Structure 1
Amino acid sequence: MPLGTLDRTPPPFFKQGPSALSKLMVCSALALFLMVADTRFEIAKPVRSAVAGVLYPAQWLAMRPVLAVQAATGYLQDLSSAQAGEAQARARLAELAQRAYQVEQLTLENERLRKLLELRERLSTPSMAAQVLYDAADPYTRKVVVDKGMAHGVQPGSPVTDESGVLGQVTRVHPLVSEVTLVTDRDQATPVLNARSGVRSVVYGDPSGTHGGALELRFMPSDADVQQGDLLTTSGVDGVYPSGLPVARVTKVERRADSAFSRISAQPEALAAGARHIMILQPVAGQMPTRPSDEVAAGRRGAAR
């Protein structure tokens, strides 16, 4: 076959339509038109609603694992936060309780100090304030150690009081500290005067009382005028304690037919087991005039004759 008779046009299979650039421009224009139309006239809203309704079950199923993981994570986070908050609240509560106790203790100490200062103003006896450091090591005695000693002018035998009454007596003096024997000690004797009846006696520490913190009024006749509730004060005849300081209050009077003496118990007015701030007084004997000698006394008697 001659070459000139051949058909040189490509077969339909290899024929190409519009170019790719033309298609891109047409599709871009159509998309821009649809976006503008949907924005202005919302023409695609029914289509979106229909598609969303059809796809909602699939979306709901697909979100279940995600929501379950989020719920579990939130529960664990909330549990950890709640536990941490509870721990902080407990710590804060303990701190506030401790502060409340400290405030209560400071208030009580301030009240006692005010009463102690008022007592110091009422007393004409020279005195000095001191603080209890600790109890003595001997468990069979009732003694405390205070922070004032020989360097501060403390003398052996000095009476010791708190804001409520007589606490004891200085029995041993060291350079910087002193040892005070409380009125509740079994070997401590304190001359007292019944403020109601004027009866004089001596009270001793009663180790058989509650925690050893009671007093006993010994050698009182059965017919002595002593009643429950009587206030016992210092008599001032011993040369140690000033007169009129509260010592104890009678709590029990037992008159027995088989004995000539009554069994009388009393409770100390001072805080024998919990005093912290005290007042050390100068012994009354140091303030009294010296006793005249026998020669001067004999001369006075001769002059009187």
Structure 2
Amino acid sequence: MPLGTVDRAPPPFFKQGPSAFSKLVVLSALALLLMVVDARRQWTAPLRAATASVLYPVQWLALQPVRLAQWAGHYVGSLADAQQAAAEARTELVRQAQRASIVEHLAQENRELRTLLGMRERLPPNARGAEILYESPDPYSRKVVIDQGQAQGVQPGSPVMDGYGVMGQVTRVYPATAEVTLLIDNQQAIPVINTRTGQRSLAFGVQGAREGRLELRFESVNTEAEPGDILTTSGVDGIYPPGLPVARVLKVAVVDGSGFSRIECEPLARMHNTLHVLVVDPLSDGRRPGAEAAR
């Protein structure tokens, strides 16, 4: 026998068993029969339940990468949405803050203008409105600069006041601006009268007063001034119109060994954070000593 014939497959004639088509027909019929019987008898329901229970851990493990990818995508999307919402909230907060500051600024201007209008009814007609531009950077003086000057007819020595009382006096005039020395400056003085007692005095600015104070110097120990008394301009200097509110008495103290009393007063005008003022032409061209000293 030749060597190559031992391992050769038998010829097709000797093959046994049904054909592939027969197997397909039989298996299809069997599957159809099982489906019909299962639909009517529900014989395979326990088998399916048992198979599902066995395969559930495998399915759970197989779904974890998908769920992890979904969670990561949702987290990234939520983070991006949260960051965008936070940025929009910050932008809106800045916008609202700007609106609030504008509203507050306008409200303050409105209050001051209304108060100024009420004050102007008691002033001579030669009073003009002005806006405070900035405070003097000199730490040893109390001065502000207003937006009215020679071009608007502002004169040196003109009294300046807000809607609550006298603030100070114009001490320097420039073409478009003017410098106002406040009453709380230590080189300023203003003649006043106590509206309750009728006593005339001279109020001076207090050097180094943190909150801004005035004081009446060289008052007798028998003074009738009391805390709460209102001081107004007396008009004896020929500069300030009489009757303008100036200050309120805070404290009356006797200076030891001097025979005099020291009366501390609080200005009625707001010396800080004021936006608008009235500049009143002086009653005469004279200058009071306090203004000359400030110049």
TM-score interval for Structure 1 and Structure 2 normalised by the shorter chain: 0.7 to 0.9
Instruction: Please give the alpha-carbon distance, in whole angstroms, between the structure 2 residues aligned to 1:71 and 1:274.
Output: 58
Kindly tell me the number of residue pairs found equivalent between the two proteins.
Answer: 274
Deviation at 1:102, TM superposition (A): 5.1
Match of 2:284 in 1: 285
Deviation at 1:200, TM superposition (A): 0.9
Deviation at 1:264, TM superposition (A): 1.2
Equivalent residue letter for 1:14: K
Match of 1:13 in 2: 14
Indicate how the Cα distance of structure 1 residues 110 and 56 shifts in structure 2: closer, same or farther if over 3 A, else same.
Answer: same
Structure 1: tracts of 5 or more residues without a match: 1-9, 287-305
Indicate how the Cα distance of structure 1 residues 28 and 245 shifts in structure 2: closer, same or farther if over 3 A, else same.
Answer: farther
Indicate how the Cα distance of structure 1 residues 25 and 282 shifts in structure 2: closer, same or farther if over 3 A, else same.
Answer: farther
TM-score normalised by L of structure 1: 0.74
Indicate how the Cα distance of structure 1 residues 207 and 256 shifts in structure 2: closer, same or farther if over 3 A, else same.
Answer: closer
Asked if structure 2 preserves the Cα contact closer than 8 Å seen for 1:239 and 1:283, the reply is: yes
Structure 2: tracts of 5 or more residues without a match: 1-10, 286-295
TM-score normalised by L of structure 2: 0.77
Match of 2:3 in 1: none
Equivalent residue letter for 1:282: D
Answer yes or no: is 1:201 the counterpart of 2:201.
yes
Deviation at 1:131, TM superposition (A): 1.0
Asked if structure 2 preserves the Cα contact closer than 8 Å seen for 1:125 and 1:282, the reply is: no
Match of 2:289 in 1: none
Instruction: Please give the alpha-carbon distance, in whole angstroms, between the structure 1 residues aligned to 2:109 and 2:56.
Output: 75
Match of 2:265 in 1: 266
Match of 1:130 in 2: 130
Equivalent residue letter for 1:234: T
Instruction: Please give the alpha-carbon distance, in whole angstroms, between the structure 1 residues aligned to 2:133 and 2:141.
Output: 16
- For residues 77-131 of structure 1, the C-alpha deviation after alignment (integer angstroms, 9 at most, x for no partner) is 4994697379549836963556545544543332222211221233233211111
Match of 2:216 in 1: 217
Q: Which moved more, 1:188-197 or 1:214-223?
A: 214-223
Match of 1:116 in 2: 116
Answer yes or no: is 1:185 the counterpart of 2:182.
no
Deviation at 1:227, TM superposition (A): 1.4
Answer yes or no: is 1:248 the counterpart of 2:247.
yes
Instruction: Please give the alpha-carbon distance, in whole angstroms, between the structure 2 residues aligned to 1:130 and 1:185.
Output: 21
Deviation at 1:156, TM superposition (A): 1.2
Equivalent residue letter for 1:237: V
Give SS of 1:52's match. helix
Equivalent residue letter for 1:55: L
- 1:32-47 maps to which residues of 2 (within 5 A)? 45-47=45-47
Give SS of 1:198's match. coil
Instruction: Please give the alpha-carbon distance, in whole angstroms, between the structure 1 residues aligned to 2:65 and 2:226.
Output: 87
Give SS of 2:148's match. coil
Match of 2:231 in 1: 232
